[in-house]
Amino acid sequence: MKPLPRSFYLRPTTRVAQDLLGKYIVRKFRGKLLIGKIVETEAYCTGDPAAHSFRGKTTRNAVMFDACGHLYVYFTYGMHWCANVVTQKIGIGEAVLIRAVEPIAGVDIMKKNRQRGRRAEMKGRKIVSHQLTNGPAKFCQAFAITGKDNGTDLLGKTIYILNGERTPASNIKRSTRIGIRVGIEKQWRFFVKDNPWVSK
């Protein structure tokens, strides 16, 4: 199957955030495929004080201003990576955070990656299956996504997104975004209703 075309990302960011639900993100890792169904996203748009692009282009957020359909990966809280899908035209600076996915293939590898990426005090504790990828940092750990993947073209062969399933509008819920201090009134978090892998 071919990755989603560039035109999919060249649309309003909140629309892309909703339409990503049900799509499959694929990572080629050490000769194996890691596949997850996207079940939760957040949109970050122009004029949004919570967006990394709010104060303009910097070395850190430069990928957000490049062509849509690329992966913007950033480090947060001094310990976690988060992955975003760049949207809109070059120079706009908008993206969709992938907050959670439902594991589809490569689950054993995801578990090993998560165990390797957890803090020392958490090692040895069993990871409950629905907690494997139910958060942006957990997703990146499971899929071994780090700063090295920043700028990856999602139309390439290492990390890409496939069409997957269409999520009916009735199954898409929205709320305010999580873990931000500004722009908290915007209901730009989208998730699949009753899916156990959605972050809590």
Domain ranges of the chain: 6-192
Q: Which residues contact 137 (CB under 8 A, 6 or more apart)?
A: 76, 80, 81, 82
pLDDT of residue 116: 81
Question: pLDDT tens string for the chain (200 positions)?
Answer: 799 999 999 999 999 999 999 999 999 999 999 999 999 999 999 999 999 999 999 999 999 999 999 999 999 877 899 999 999 999 999 999 999 999 999 999 999 999 886 554 355 566 777 899 999 999 999 999 999 999 999 999 999 999 998 899 999 999 999 999 999 999 999 999 999 999 98
Supply the CATH classification number for the domain 6-192: 3.10.300.10
Global pTM reads 0.94
C-alpha 102/C-alpha 199 separation (Å) is: 11
